A and B are shown apart, each in its own frame.
Chain A
Amino acid sequence: MTMGTIIWKEMKERPTALIASLLAIILSVTALVAIRNVTIFSEQEVAGKLDELGANVLILPEGVTLQDYYAADMHKETIPEEHVAELALAGLTGVEAITPKLCVPTKLDDRNVILTGILPQSEIQKMNAWSGGGMLFKKHEGCKAKINVADENLDAPDSLAERRALQHLNQSEVLLGSDFAASKGLKEGDQLQLLGETFEVLSVLPSTGTVDDSRVFAHLHTVQRLSGTGPVVNIIEVMGCCEDVANGLVGELQSLLPGTKVVTIANVVETQVSINRMMTNLSYLFLAILVAVGGASMASASFANVIERRREIGTLMALGATPRFVTQLFLAKAALLGLAGGISGYVLGSLIAVLLGPVFANVSVFPVPSLAIVAATVAVLVTLAASYFPARQASRLDPCLCFKEV
């Protein structure tokens, strides 16, 4: 038998009292872990988005609000296609690609499909060449990013999926999103009828996991002609070579194209960033609650436990327990409780985060093991601090009270 036996048996005797004293700690650790867990994944997503789309600037009609980056062109408002030429002629530094898009909903057999018109880069470069002006694609000074200027290797139609720009596309060709192609059983070289015209499938795009997978891409001018919209687009995507450029471009583009709305990916994730900041602050709040409320309830439970066990403590002292032993007895119990509270809080919090993260923060969440260490450490420190004075009181009890007749 060891001190551990005493601690363990005493705790087993009164499990409900333990849970009650730990409740505040378990609940606040739960909240802390859940919030941190969701925040971690939300921050990762923001970082991922910035990484993936960081250099992109969207030029939209003024009245459009941006919800989903990938569906930014799915709206009915338009801007004149002339803007594309203005951009091409302006020769902005650090621009890698300019992709105007126009979306028209249509049907293939009975399936709804978004026909998206895009202008290939080769034609934009031509505009620039006609003007005899400067280069369209020039690297800005000090740019560390590798610039994808009309690289022959990036000529493949598949690059649309990754770079969101395309070098060549004929007026009678289409590119198919992977989901759409799969649902229609279409492959490269097949023919299909859209808006009364026959197209040849140039390529099926690799899957991206975005709405692009269920689109059909055709030449902008073909789409404009068939849908009778005239020379308009829904969006112009401008890809800068790096994030600095993208952010710097906003001002230039705004003054170049009044009457449009210029948005960077940083703007797109802004709400998420501010939610993350709020959640981080919230987690500090819960930490404070954990320390204050959890500590106070633990302290009062420990004091009650000491009072309740006075005779037992006196007896242990009569049997030769030193004050140091008594202190250790209560502190070890507190640490054990803190550990249990921290771990159960971690388990509950992770569960809540995994279940509710997708609902509230729109990110998929997985448990983070390192949070268990943080949760357990914080909970143990709180219970230890809360039990310090009760433990000291216990060690200073008068052992003579074991002689008292009940």
Chain B
Amino acid sequence: MLKLESVKKVYCKHQDEVVALDTTTIEIARGEFAAIIGPSGSGKTTLLSMLGAMSAPSEGRILLDDVSIYDLPIEQRAEVRQNKIGFVFQTFNLVPYLTAIENVQVPMMLSQKFRTEQQERAEELLGTVGLQDRLHHKPSELSIGQQQRVALARMLANDPLIILADEPTGNLDPETRDQVLAFLRQFNEEGRTIIMVTHDLSAAECARRTLRLSEGRIQAGSDQNLLKTA
């Protein structure tokens, strides 16, 4: 469902060229749970943002359901993010002045869902992450773990097929980390494709496939498809 065709990303800063991701070709199938691991600065976030229709590659194409997303006009690319992709961030990125339920409503507001539908679905989603009694709390009034669960609920708002998570457990204590990983595994079992960047090897164990990045290259032989048959 997601395909990178000879994708390369080069950042140019004052004549210095940084090759954040060297020419890469990979394919991620529907329903996969892939982990991208590697040291800091190895290009994990760069890869994820290109997969998420957030930043155009310098070379190559990225196909989502056989559509080259960076050949779409910018407004349509925003719609792809809106309807097909859910992001989970290391820093949660909740809107600080909105309550939990309002944060979850944001993606539905952007896709112009009706007010009552927004309300009901946001409540339901916060219920599934166990925050039904924290609907009207602002992020600052929630614990770190609760904030990440609000972010998970928000990510699910428009029922995305693909979940892109950038170090979702990076800021969490071990207990909440396990909680979040359990949720991700559950979402994957519901049929969503998950690509998770992490430098936490034990977190990567949740995934069925691991890509190891180093200095912008996928390490040969790292692309192991550990089909952990249940």
Q: Do A and B come from one complex?
A: yes
Q: In the complex, A241→B160 CA distance in Å?
A: 87
**Segment from B23-31, B82-90, B141-149, B176-184 that makes contact with A:** B82-90
Interface residues of B (CB under 8 A from A): 45, 48-49, 52, 54-55, 74-75, 78-79, 81-83, 87, 89-91, 93, 95-98, 102, 105-111, 115, 118, 154, 158, 166, 170
The verdict on A320 contacting B55 (CB below 8 Å), with A315-B93, A405-B90 known, is no
Q: A317-B78, A320-B78, A403-B49 are in contact. Are A1 and B102 (CB under 8 A)?
A: yes
Q: Provide a sorted-by-A list of 29 A–B residue pairs whose CB atoms are within 8 angstroms.
A: A1-B115, A5-B98, A5-B102, A6-B95, A6-B106, A9-B97, A9-B102, A312-B93, A312-B95, A314-B93, A318-B87, A319-B81, A319-B110, A320-B79, A320-B81, A320-B83, A322-B75, A322-B78, A323-B78, A325-B110, A398-B55, A399-B54, A400-B54, A400-B55, A403-B49, A403-B90, A403-B166, A405-B91, A405-B170
Q: Per-residue CB proximity of A352-390 to B under 8 Å, as 1/0?
A: 000000000000000000000000000000000000000
Residue on B nearest A317 in the bound complex, by CB: B78
**What distance in Å separates the Cβ of B151 from its nearest Cβ neighbour in chain A?**
10
A315 contacts across to B, CB distance below 8 A:
89, 93, 95
Residues of A within 8 A of B82 (CB): 319-320
Q: How many residues on A have C-beta within 8 angstroms of the other chain's C-beta atoms?
A: 31
A1 contacts which of B78, B93, B109 (Cβ < 8 Å)?
A: B109
Given A320-B82, A320-B107, A325-B110, the answer on whether A1 and B118 have CB atoms closer than 8 Å is yes
Contacts of A322 in B (CB 8 A): 74-75, 78-79
Closest to A325 in B: B110
Chain A residues whose C-beta falls within 8 Å of the C-beta of B87 in the assembled complex: 318-319, 402
- Give residues 14-29 of A contacting B (CB, 8 Å): none
Which one, B54, B75, B93, B109, contacts A311 given CB within 8 A? B93
Q: Contacts A1-B118, A399-B54; is A319 near B97 (CB within 8 Å)?
A: no
Q: Which residues from chain B contact A3 at a C-beta distance below 8 Å?
A: 109
Please list the 4 inter-chain residue pairs (A to B) with the smallest Cβ-Cβ separation, ordered nearest first: A320-B82, A13-B97, A315-B93, A322-B78
Measured between alpha carbons, how far is A311 from B94 in the docked complex, in Å?
10
Residues A402 and B110 in contact in the complex (CB < 8 Å), given A10-B97, A12-B97: no
- Tell me the bound Cα distance from A12 to B99 in angstroms: 13
